[in-house]
Amino acid sequence: MGVLNVTPDSFSDGGRFGAPTRAVAHGLRLAADGADLVDVGGESTRPGAERITARVELTRVLPVVEALAAHGILVSVDTMRAEVARAAVAAGAGFVNDVSGGLADPDMAPCVAELGAPYVAMHWRAHSRHMQEHTVYDDVVRDVVAELGSRLDALARAGVAPEQIIVDPGLGFAKTRDQSWTLLRSLPRLRALGRPVMVGASRKSMLGGFEGSATPSPAPQDRDHATAAVSALAAHHGAAIVRVHDVAATVAAVRVAAQWAVADRPGRPRRAGLASGADHHQAPVRPHRP
Ligand code: PMM
């Protein structure tokens, strides 16, 4: 999944794609680089970010979703609002990516049930302004799995089909850097929820410096090699989708992981792609064509 933030204040691509024409051009580039889907977001979720109105969000995302979908690109809309999800799907989006897993907007679950589109339910505890005040866990993996499990139950009660749902641990969202690494190392426990797992580590502060390294933390836009490495490892350990800014580097790295898995299992050819990743037991998520 390629990241296309149409925001003036995104922490890593810093508003470079604010104007619709430049955003669309970048989305086309992400697809040409090998993204299976392009995630269009109009509201920044960087730590401390203030909310914007639905009207501003719609104005930012709809023209970009519409143009990319018209080019035949599978678009996902990164939104916490049912109203935006509904309008984006009507404009051609085939996926809904909700960082709040349905918690921010009570209308989201029934809306997604009605739309029938694949839905990313991310682990989330609070809006960005306050999220880093919510990093207390008894056991981060057990608590995140349990909280995601509750979201799956709530989504099912609202009529969302299990096959629509992809789960995401929400790296960096109400998590310290160490907690994010612990979650990343525990992908099999997230996969035990029975749904495909998505991972978004791209350019995050968890990649901003490593044990034993004397070099200063690289700026977010200088974390793409580290992102590619982490994406390959995540794919190898079963992530179905990795959400990244630099698609070309990650596609190359994920292909290496896929080849590694083939080489691991002589006689069992595998296909790199949306549901790649070693040991995938879940059914692949079928894109939604409105
Ligand atoms: N991270 C960001 C935004 N949207 N969506 C999902 N499902 N998972 C993530 O980890 C995630 C996301 C924040 O990163 P950005 O500001 O660089 O887009």
DSSP sequence for 211-254: TT--SPPPPGGG-HHHHHHHHHHHHHTT-SEE-BS-HHHHHHHH
- Both tokens of 267, joined, read 């006689």
Residue 3 near ligand 1, beta carbon < 6 Å: yes
Q: Which atom of ligand 1 is nearest to the CA of 122?
A: 7
- The active-site residue out of 81, 125, 151, 243 is 243
Residue 271 lies in a domain: no
Which residue's CA lies nearest to atom 9 of ligand 1?
200
Residue 150 lies in a domain: yes
State residue 288's pLDDT score: 64
Residue 88 lies in a domain: yes
Distances (CA, A) of 87 to 151, 158, 182: 23, 20, 36
State residue 236's pLDDT score: 95
State residue 46's pLDDT score: 81
Residue 195 appears among annotated catalytic residues: no
Q: How do residues 125-159 score in pLDDT, each as one tens digit? A: 988 888 888 999 999 999 999 999 999 999 999 99
Residue 243 appears among annotated catalytic residues: yes
Q: How do residues 195-243 score in pLDDT, each as one tens digit? A: 999 999 999 999 987 777 777 788 999 899 999 999 999 999 999 999 9
pLDDT by residue, tens only, the chain of 290 residues: 999 999 886 545 656 665 688 999 999 999 999 999 999 999 988 877 888 999 999 999 999 999 999 999 999 999 999 999 999 999 999 999 999 999 999 999 999 999 999 999 999 998 888 888 899 999 999 999 999 999 999 999 999 999 999 999 999 999 999 999 999 999 999 999 999 999 999 999 999 877 777 777 889 998 999 999 999 999 999 999 999 999 999 999 999 999 998 886 766 655 544 443 444 444 456 666 55
DSSP-derived secondary structure letter, 259: H
Residue 5 near ligand 1, beta carbon < 6 Å: yes
C-beta neighbour count of 173 within 10 angstroms: 24
What is the number of helices (H) and of strands (E) in the chain? 9, 8
CA distance 242 to 256: 14
Containing 78, the helix (H) or strand (E) segment is strand 75-78
Q: Residue 80 in 3-state DSSP?
A: coil
Residue 99 near ligand 1, beta carbon < 6 Å: yes
Residue 147 lies in a domain: yes
Helix 177-184 / helix 140-157 crossing angle, nearest 10 deg: 70
* Nearby residues of 37 by Cβ (< 8 Å), 6 or more positions away: 1, 2, 73, 74, 75, 76, 94, 95, 274, 287
Contact (Cβ atoms closer than 8 angstroms) between residue 65 and residue 90: no
Which residue's CA lies nearest to atom 17 of ligand 1?
12
CA distance 87 to 21: 20
Strand partners, 242: 199
Residue 149 lies in a domain: yes
- Both tokens of 6, joined, read 């149409």
CATH of the domain at 213: 3.20.20.20
Find the domain containing 9 and state its range: 2-264
Residue with structure tokens 């982490």?
230
Residue 72 lies in a domain: yes
Residue 98 lies in a domain: yes
CA distance 123 to 1: 18
Residue 288 lies in a domain: no
Residue 12 near ligand 1, beta carbon < 6 Å: yes
Q: How many independent structural domains does the chain possess?
A: 1
- The active-site residue out of 60, 86, 191, 204 is 204
Residue 11 near ligand 1, beta carbon < 6 Å: yes
